[in-house]
């Protein structure tokens, strides 16, 4: 039997019915149509399901939907601005950090968390921030360059 949960999703308060055993990933993708949250390993190892919950990146495959009750959740869809892509998303495109795109939402959300807390990270800090996200296409270099570029863009006077 589904129960109602209240979450603030991408800045909008929502009341949503969720099954007791439903993961946050499944709620986002299948019930709400937010397919930017990817379903990968379903074990918390790959990071493709990363969302920001109450200001911290989490693997939504390891979070039951009811655990998000009363929380603020941001998905990749919530980062876009009225003008379009935010600076980090744009940097991923510009620097070629998106190849197949499967890891990109989780990478971008992990990097978003980093940049919100450290506007001028060094390469080691970037590597640490994205260490929970696996990519099979890029070799990570272009991803690191994209995060550096976004940091420079957003911290420029």
Cα gap 137→134, rounded to integer Å: 9
Domain range 3-79, CATH class:
alpha beta
DSSP character at residue 27: I
Q: Give the model confidence (pLDDT) of 117-148 as tens digits.
A: 999 999 999 999 999 999 988 789 999 999 99
CATH of 87-155, one of 1.10.150.120, 2.60.40.420, 3.40.50.720, 1.20.1630.10: 1.10.150.120
Q: Does the structure show a pLDDT above 90 at 99?
A: no
Task: Report whether pLDDT(76) > 90.
Answer: yes
Residue spans in the chain of domains classed CATH 3.10.20.30: 3-79
Where does the chain have alpha helices with state H? Answer: 24-26, 87-94, 104-117, 123-129, 141-155
Report yes or no: 60 and 18 within 8 Å, Cβ to Cβ: no
**Whole-number mean pLDDT of the chain?**
95
pTM (predicted TM-score) = 0.94
Average pLDDT over residues 108-125: 97
- Residue 157 pLDDT: 42
């Amino acid at each position: 039997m589904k129960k109602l949960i209240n979450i603030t999703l991408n800045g909008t308060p929502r009341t949503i019915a969720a099954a007791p055993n439903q993961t946050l990933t499944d709620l986002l993708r299948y019930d709400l149509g937010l397919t930017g949250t990817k379903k990968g390993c379903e074990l918390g190892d790959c990071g493709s399901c990363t969302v920001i919950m109450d200001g911290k990146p989490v693997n939504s495959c390891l979070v039951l939907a009811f655990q998000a009750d009363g929380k603020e959740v941001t998905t990749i869809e919530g980062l876009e601005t009225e003008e379009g892509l935010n600076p980090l998303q744009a940097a991923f495109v510009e620097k070629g950090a998106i190849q197949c795109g499967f890891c990109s939402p989780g990478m971008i959300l992990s990097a978003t968390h980093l940049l919100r807390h450290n506007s001028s990270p060094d390469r080691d800090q970037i590597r640490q921030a994205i260490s929970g996200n696996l990519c099979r296409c890029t070799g990570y270099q272009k991803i690191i360059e994209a995060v550096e570029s976004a940091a420079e863009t957003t911290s420029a006077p």
